[in-house]
Structure 1
Amino acid sequence: MDLIYEVISEEKIELCRDLCNELMVFQKSNAYIKADLFDTMNFETRLLPSLKSAVHNHIVIVRDGDRIVGYVYSNISPKEAYSNNFATFFDLTSIIRKNVGCLSQFYIKVEYRQYGVGSKLFNMSLEWLKQFEDVDDYFIFVSNGNLNALEFYKRKGFSVSHDILDGFITVLRSHKQS
């Protein structure tokens, strides 16, 4: 295994297409609440709109040779971006600042888990998010049934805030330490 971590520009987002679509299939396969909502979720409906609505984007891919085996997408977005036709992801009045940080998508091919890839991607993402002085609140949204991800983020210091859409998504939150 020869893993290379590479920060890519938004112009190269197409490199994440297959893994993003694989993530949606993975989430649906684990979901026990409203799994059919994943039927319309894919690269075009999830990743691209998020990329366009964000103020800042950060994308890291992991390669094993020429094969892309994982990615993380994080963004800085106006808090209002998280209140839309799909759902209101958190109480907007609980956020003092204009923008929030979000670790938005995170996926590693199954055979590459348990090698520290997740921790490395998580740390790179959080380091990027925390450089923005005008952002105090960080969010991660975990689909129901993805207990491994939920526990991973809790071990990394995020706390469960609440559930939305009748438990379809668990919202995790962290606040910048002064």
Structure 2
Amino acid sequence: MNIKYEIIPSEKVGSCRDLCNELMIFQKSKAKIKPELFDNMNFETRMIPSMKGAIYNYIVVVKDDDKPVGYVYSNISPKETYSNDFATFFDLSSVSRNNVGCLSQFYIKEEYREQGIGSILFNMSMKWLKQFDHVEDYFIFVSNGNDDALEFYKRKGFAFSHEILDGFITVLRDK
């Protein structure tokens, strides 16, 4: 294996398309609550709107040689972005500043898991998110059934905040 981490500009986000779509399929396969909600979720309906609603975007693609094998997408967004037709992701009054940081999407192909890649991506994202002095609230949203991800984030210092959509998503928070 020849693992490389590449920070990509927003204009090259298309290189994450297949990985993002794999993430949606993976999340649906794990879901115990409303898996059908994933039927309309893909790169065009999740990644692109999230990026457009954000103030700053951060994307890291992991490659084995030139083959993309994982990615992480984080953003800084106005807190109001997280109250929309789909759901209200947190109590907006619990966030004192105007913007929040979010580790929004995180996926590693199965054969590359448990090799430290996830920790490197997580640390890169947190370092990027914490550079913004005007942000003090950080969120991660974990789809139901993805217990491995939930435990990973808890080991990294995030704590359970609440659930939304009748348990479809678990909200983790680090303040």
Q: TM-score, normalised by structure 1?
A: 0.98
Q: Note the aligned Cα RMSD (angstroms).
A: 0.2
5+ residue gaps, structure 2, are: none
- In the TM superposition, residue 67 of structure 1 has moved relative to its aligned partner by 0.3
Taking the aligned partners of 1:66 and 1:16, their CA distance within structure 2 comes to: 13
Number of the residue aligned with 2:137: 137
What pairs up with 1:83-98 in 2 under 5 angstroms?
A: 83-98=83-98
Matched to 2:78, the amino acid is P
Distance 1:4 1:29 in 2: 28
Q: Which amino acid aligns with 1:137?
A: D
CA distance in 2, matches of 1:62, 1:32: 29
Moved over 2 A (4+): none
Q: Percent identity?
A: 71
In 1, the alpha carbon distance for the partners of 2:62 and 2:165 equals 32
CA distance in 1, matches of 2:132, 2:138: 11
Number of aligned residue pairs: 175
Which residue in the other structure is 1:156 paired with? 156
Between the aligned partners of 1:6 and 1:123, the Cα distance in structure 2 is: 14
Q: Counterpart of 1:25 in structure 2: which amino acid?
A: I
In structure 1, the partner of 2:19 is 19
Q: How far did residue 157 of structure 1 move?
A: 0.1
Query: Separation in 1 of the partners of 2:65 and 2:136?
Result: 37
**Cα-to-partner distance string for 1:28-84 (whole Å, 9 max, x where unaligned):** 000000000000000000000000010000000000011000000000000000000
Q: Any unmatched runs of 5+ in structure 1?
A: none
**In structure 1, distance between residues paired with 2:5 and 2:23:** 19
TM-score (norm. length: structure 2)? 1.00
Match of 2:30 in 1: 30
Amino acid at match of 2:88: T
Aligned match of 2:118: 118
Task: Supply the distance in 2 between the matched residues of 1:67 and 1:98 (Cα, whole angstroms).
Answer: 38
Using the alignment, how far apart are the partners of 2:87 and 2:103 within structure 1? 17
